[in-house]
Structure 1
Amino acid sequence: MDSETSDRYMQGLLDDQSLYPSIDVSGLRDRLFRLPGQCIEAWSKTKLLQVNIDSREIKNVVIIGMGGSAIAGDLLIDMASAQKTVPISVVRDFSLPMKIDSSTLVVACSYSGQTEETLALYDEAASYGAKFLVIGSGGALVSKAESKNEMILTVDLASEPRSAVAYSLVLLLGALSRLGIISVDGDDVRDSVAFLTATVNGLKEDVSYETNLAKQLATNCLSKSPVIYGGGIFTGMARRWKTQINENSKSWAFYETIPELLHNSIEAYASDHNDEKFIILLRPSIGDDRLLSRYDILGKMLSEYEIPFQTIEGDSHSMLSQILNMLALGDYVSYYLALVRGVDPAPNPVINRAKSFNE
Structure 2
Amino acid sequence: MKNLIEDFTKHIQHAITSANNLSLNPCSKKIDNVLICGLGGSGIGATIIAQIVAPTCSYPILVNKDYKIPAFVNENTLVVVCSYSGNTEESIEMLVLAEQQNAIITCITSGGKLAEIAQEKKYNHIMIPGGHPPRAAFGLAFPPLFQLLAHYNIIEKNYRDEFESAIKLINNEEANIILEAKNIADKLINKIPIIYAEANYEGVAIRFRQQINENSKMLCWHHVIPEMNHNELVGWTTKDEDLAVVIFRNEDDYFRNQKRIEVNKTVFSNYTSTIIEIHSKGNTRLERALYLIHLGDWVSYLIAEQKGIDVTEVNVITNLKNALAKI
TM bin, normalised by shorter chain, reads over 0.9
TM-score under structure 1 length normalisation:
0.86
Residue number among 140, 150, 159 corresponding to 2:113 in the alignment:
140
Contact 2:74–2:102 under 8 Å retained in 1: yes
Aligned to 1:61: 34
> 1:70 is aligned with what amino acid?
G
> Between the two proteins, what is the percent identity of the paired residues?
27
Q: Which residue identity lines up with residue 195 of structure 1 in the other structure?
A: L
1:176-187 mapped onto 2 (5 Å cutoff): 176-182=149-155, 183-187=157-161
**Is residue 245 of structure 2 the alignment partner of residue 245 of structure 1?**
no
Residue pairs, 1:75-90, within 5 angstroms: 75-90=48-63
Superposition map of 1:46-57 within 5 A: 46-54=19-27, 57=30
TM-score after normalising by structure 2? 0.94
Superposition deviation, residue 201 in structure 1? 4.1
In the alignment, structure 2 segments of 5+ residues that lack a partner are none
**1:135-284 alignment runs, 5 A limit:** 135-182=108-155, 183-204=157-178, 212-272=179-239, 274-284=240-250
SS at match of 1:358: helix
Tell me, yes or no, if the aligned pair for 2:73 and 2:98 is still in contact at 8 Å.
Answer: yes
CA distance in 1, matches of 2:101, 2:198: 34
8 A contact 1:338–1:345 mirrored in 2:
yes
Partner of 1:199, secondary structure, is: helix
Distance 1:188 1:179 in 2: 20
Deviation track 1:164-222 (CA, whole Å, cap 9, x = no partner) reads 12221111112212332223443222111111222334445xxxxxxx01111111111
- Return the alpha-carbon distance in structure 2 between the equivalents of residues 202 and 160 of structure 1: 26
Q: Corresponding residue for 1:313?
A: 279
Residue of structure 2 in register with 1:108 after alignment: 81
Displacement of 1:293 in angstroms is: 2.6
Shift in CA distance, 233/58, structure 1 to aligned 2, threshold 3 Å: same
Match of 2:252 among 261, 286, 293: 286
Q: Contact between 1:55 and 1:179, CA under 8 Å: does it hold in 2?
A: no
Change beyond 3 A, Cα 1:190–1:55: farther
2:5 aligned residue: 32
Structure 1 gaps, min length 5: 1-27, 205-211
Check conservation: 1:232, 1:284, Cα contact below 8 A.
no
Amino acid at match of 1:43: I
- Contact residue 129 and residue 140 of structure 2 kept, 8 A: no
Separation (CA, whole Å) in 1 of partners of 2:206 and 2:119: 32
- SS of 2:105's equivalent? strand
1:299 match: 265
SS at match of 1:249: coil
| 170-179 vs 70-79, greater mean Cα deviation | 170-179
Cα distance in 2 between the residues matched to 1:199 and 1:156: 26
Partner SS state of residue 78, structure 1: helix
8 Å CA contact 1:47–1:174 kept in 2: the answer is no
Q: Could you say which residue in structure 2 is the equivalent of 1:74?
A: 47
Kindly provide the amino acid, as one letter, of the partner of residue 147 in structure 1: E
Structure-2 change in CA distance of 1:185 and 1:72 (3 Å)? closer
Contact 2:187 2:274 in 1 (8 A): no
Relative to structure 1, the CA distance from residue 223 to residue 56 in structure 2 (aligned partners, 3 Å threshold; closer, same or farther) is same
Higher relative contact order (CA 8 A, sep 6+): 1
Q: State the SS of the aligned residue for 2:43.
A: helix
Q: How far does residue 46 in structure 1 lie from its aligned partner after superposition? A: 2.5
* Alignment counterpart, residue 335 of structure 1, candidates 301, 306, 311: 301
CA distance in structure 2 between the partners assigned to 1:131 and 1:70 by the alignment: 19
Match of 1:356 among 302, 322, 326: 322
Count residues in correspondence: 324
